[in-house]
Chain A
Amino acid sequence: MTSQVIAAMHHGIKAAEAGAGPDAAVGGAGPDRATTVREAAWVALGHVLDPELDQPITELGFVAGLWITHDHAVRVELRLPTYFCAPNFAWLMVADARDVLAALPGAGRVDVVLLDHFAADEINAGVAAASGFGDGFATDGGDPELAELRAVFERKAQVAAQERLARALGPHLSERLTLAEAARIAPGATAAVVRRRERLGLVSEFAVCDDQGAAVAADRLPGWLRFARTVRVSVEGNATLCRGLLETRYGLTPSPGGP
């Protein structure tokens, strides 16, 4: 599945190098030669999401350290909000981080190490061993059910993004409103939906669609959006809780704002 993550990563690097686009602020514009690998690695890690929280690990504060050695080896240390964070999602983040870094042009050996977690030894060893099977294998441990678990949360993320889009559209929303029309009214929220559909491989011309990409019938739409709101509240609430716990655990400065 990593092809999408890696494709997105390459896009991100281009945007950063050009000093434009949504990723420019993450990577910084115009990196000098000495820091190229480091900058590219940070940008790449920005494309690794917590599957459950639908946010980049770089923004969540999960990247505890990033080192590039003189021979361009990359070492990343990841940390999570609690000792007992779900190990399957921890596995996916470690594996995704490893995959995007291994795909970096110019990167040498890649080590991704999870810290302070009850299953850290198993996950670190498991991902390192699985990586020998080639790109993408490590990601889901070769396990189609783990891939499906990830997809469950990617679908939730997409549903939540559609609900945010529906809010942004307000009275403009209708059953058959197309994505192109939505993009003219609410470009940011539409782009967020598109990104998540690409990740899922979900194709639809509609601003709001079901899991198969079909339009949601007008009589079903209010109920559909009502439950979508619950999904959004759940995802956003988890992110709030996790940020708070991470700050407490590692004595970080509390993030401003939040619900």
Chain B
Amino acid sequence: MYSKDGQNYYIVDGHTHFWDGSPANQINRYGEGFIKCFYDYHSNLSPDEYKWTLEEFERYPEERMIHDLFETGYDDVAILQSTYLTDWYVNGFNTTDQNGQIAERHPGRFIVNGRFDPRDGEAGLSALERLHERWQLRGVKLYTAEWKGDSKGWKLSDPWAYRYLQKCQELGIRNIHVHKGPTVYPMNRDAFDVADVDDAATAFPALNFIVEHVGLPRLDDFCWIATQEPNVYAGLAVAMPFIHSRPRYFAQIIGELLYWLDDNRLLFGSDYAIWQPKWLVEKFVDFQIPEDMQGEYGELTSDIKKKVLGLNAARLYDLKIPGEFEIPDGTTDAGPGIGSGPAVETAPR
């Protein structure tokens, strides 16, 4: 919980990791490159006082994570997103079981999301059932760019992906977090393309598709599909930290998202340990769209901030919110542009 100026904010951190990217766990140069790439994101966008050394960043103790998220970081609940990458890391980068163990040691603090890989075929469907049985999954995190042998990625619109989504629906796993990343082959495809999310969201209207880092670097494509599909959500991990180093760019991102999606479909996420919720939450609550941009984007109200920081995710994950945090219905006072939704039938494409 975070309180400022008489307002109380319930914080659901929609994107956290308890990873092991240490050299001892790296299988190959890809594993090394992956954690270093994360580290550059961390170093580039964090305030100086929150920067870690590479060694600290590669693997951090559980106590530090608990401290950063819940003792200083204001998180009420944090969602652990599983990222396996078993072709690059001996024990995986952070598997569901690893995440589940830390969750069990801190009851009520974490939500454990599983994962599936449609390339695992029939065996993977059974594995997903077992994973669900063990951890009572309410969501999965999918990494379409993950390597598996000769395959360098997959699409949500693949026939086997549909079988897995069907299985999720049967099991009551409603929240599908999708992460895009670069793949090597085929070279003629845009690996960050979010079009397959569009197909899957249409085919599975009962599932929620949370596109992590709001489709960056394809913000425009993401906004476009999100206007078509009411069950597509914006995960703000990676977008949030711009609030520190590039506040005007952050204002544009958040302004665009609120224009196209409305304020019920944006979810806060720190992407811990890349960034820490403490400074993200503090800066977001203090943040306002710069005056010269308010004509285009309107203002960020505290009600919008409450929804983004926790209430929206709480709704998706059926979290009981203490009454003090609720927003009375119909009081959201969105300025012009914000929350107005698309009044657009044509796009320049």
Question: Is there a chain B Cβ closer than 8 Å to A12's Cβ?
Answer: no
Asked whether A118 is an interface residue with its Cβ less than 8 Å from the other chain, the reply is: yes
Q: Is the interface of B mostly helix, strand, loop or mixed?
A: helix
A86 and B192 form a contact (CB under 8 A): yes
Structural contact, B40 and A234, CB atoms closer than 8 A: no
**Which residues from 228 to 243 on chain A have a C-beta closer than 8 Å to any C-beta of chain B?**
228-231, 233-234, 236-238, 240-241
Q: Which of A23-31, A145-153, A177-185, A194-202 contacts B (4 or more CB under 8 A)?
A: A145-153
* With A52-B217, A211-B349: A145-B188 Cβ-Cβ less than 8 Å: yes
Contacts of A132-168 to chain B: CB distance below 8 A: 141, 143, 145-146, 148-149, 152, 155-156, 159, 162
Closest Cβ of chain A: how far from B343's Cβ, in Å?
A: 7
Docked complex Cα distance between A73 and B15 (Å):
50
- Is B249 within 8 A of A245, CB to CB? no
What residues on B are CB-neighbors of A211 within 8 Å? 348-349
**B216→A82 contact, CB < 8 A:** no
With A84-B37, A86-B191 as known contacts, state yes or no: A237 contacts B182, CB within 8 Å: no
Quote the shortest CB–CB distance from A186 to chain B (angstroms).
19
Distance from B85 Cβ to chain A, minimum over Cβ atoms (Å): 12
Cβ of A62 within 8 Å of any chain B Cβ, yes or no, is: no
Q: Is the CB of A227 within 8 A of B224?
A: yes
Output the least CB separation between A140 and chain B (Å).
9
When distances are taken between beta carbons in the complex, the residues of chain A under 8 Å from B205 are: none
Determine whether A59 belongs to the interface, using a CB cutoff of 8 Å to chain B: no
Q: Is the CB of A84 within 8 A of B182?
A: yes
Within 8 A of B (CB), among A177-221: 210-211, 216, 220
Q: Does B123 count as interface, using CB distance less than 8 angstroms?
A: no
Q: Give the number of chain B interface residues (Cβ < 8 Å).
A: 48
Q: Give the one of A84, A91, A146 with max B CB within 10 A.
A: A84
Interchain nearest-CB distance for B187 vs A (Å)? 5
> How many interface residues does chain A have, given as a range?
35 or more
Residues of A contacting B223 in the complex (Cβ-Cβ under 8 angstroms): 227, 230
B246 contacts A by Cβ under 8 Å: yes
Among B41-49, B107-115, B269-277, B313-321, the one that faces the other chain is B41-49
* Residue pair B220, A146 in contact (C-beta under 8 Å): no
Chain A contact residues: helix, strand, loop or mixed: helix
CB distance from B14 to the nearest CB of A (A): 20
Checking A85, A236, A259 against B182 with a beta-carbon cut-off of 8 angstroms, the contacting residue is: A85
- State the CA gap A248–B274 with chains docked (Å): 14
One digit per residue, 1 when the CB lies within 8 angstroms of any chain A CB and 0 when it does not, for chain B 138-155 equals: 000000000000000000
Among A52, A226, A247, the residue within 8 A (CB) of B44 is A247
A88 at interface by CB-CB < 8 Å: yes
Check if B256 is an interface residue, CB within 8 A of chain A. Answer: yes
Known: A223-B346, A237-B216, A237-B253. A245 touches B34 (CB 8 A): no
Interface string of B236-279 (1 = CB under 8 A from A): 00000010011011001100100110000000000000000000
Please name the residue on chain B nearest to A143 by beta carbon.
B188
B184 & A227 in contact (Cβ 8 Å cutoff): no
CB of B170 closer than 8 Å to a CB of A: no
B33 at the interface (CB under 8 A from A): yes
Q: Which of B313-349 contact A (CB under 8 A)?
A: 343-349
Contact A156/B220 with A88-B188, A149-B189, A245-B41 known, Cβ cut-off 8 Å: yes
Confirm or deny: A61 has a beta carbon within 8 angstroms of a beta carbon on chain B.
Answer: no
Whether, in the assembled complex, A87 has its beta carbon less than 8 Å from a beta carbon of chain B, the answer is: yes
Q: Which of B33, B36, B344 contacts A223 (CB 8 A)?
A: B344
Contact A230 B346 (CB under 8 A): no
Instruction: Chain B residues near A8: list those with CB within 8 A.
Output: none
Query: Is B29 located at the chain interface by the 8 A CB criterion?
Result: yes
Q: Once the chains bind, are B348 and A159 in contact (CB under 8 Å)?
A: yes
Q: Does A119 contact B (CB under 8 A)?
A: yes
- Other-chain contact of B348, A81, A148, A228, A248 (Cβ < 8 Å): A228
B203 to chain A, nearest CB (A): 24
Let me know if B249 and A86 touch, CB within 8 A: no
Bound-complex Cα distance A83 to B219 (A): 22
A165 to B344, CA, bound (A): 20
In this complex, the member of A83, A87, A141, A156 whose beta carbon has the largest number of chain B beta carbons within 10 angstroms is A83
Residue in B187, B216, B347 whose beta carbon sits within 8 Å of that of A146 in the complex: B187
B67 in contact (CB, < 8 A): no
Confirm or deny: B190 has a beta carbon within 8 angstroms of a beta carbon on chain A: yes
By a beta-carbon cutoff of 8 Å, the part of chain A in contact with chain B is 52, 81-88, 91, 118-119, 122, 141, 143, 145-146, 148-149, 152, 155-156, 159, 162, 210-211, 216, 220, 223-224, 226-231, 233-234, 236-238, 240-241, 244-245, 247-249, 258-259
* Cβ contacts A to B, 7 pairs, < 8 Å: A84-B33, A122-B184, A146-B187, A230-B256, A234-B217, A244-B45, A248-B40
**Further pairs besides A224-B346, A230-B224: 14, Cβ < 8 Å:** A83-B37, A84-B37, A85-B182, A86-B182, A86-B192, A88-B187, A155-B349, A226-B259, A227-B224, A230-B220, A230-B256, A233-B220, A237-B253, A259-B246
Which positions in B face A, CB cutoff 8 Å? 29-30, 33-34, 36-37, 40-41, 43-45, 181-184, 186-192, 216-221, 223-224, 242, 245-246, 248-249, 252-253, 256, 259-260, 296, 343-349
10 smallest A-B Cβ distances: which pairs? A145-B188, A223-B344, A83-B33, A234-B219, A248-B44, A234-B220, A227-B347, A259-B248, A238-B217, A259-B249
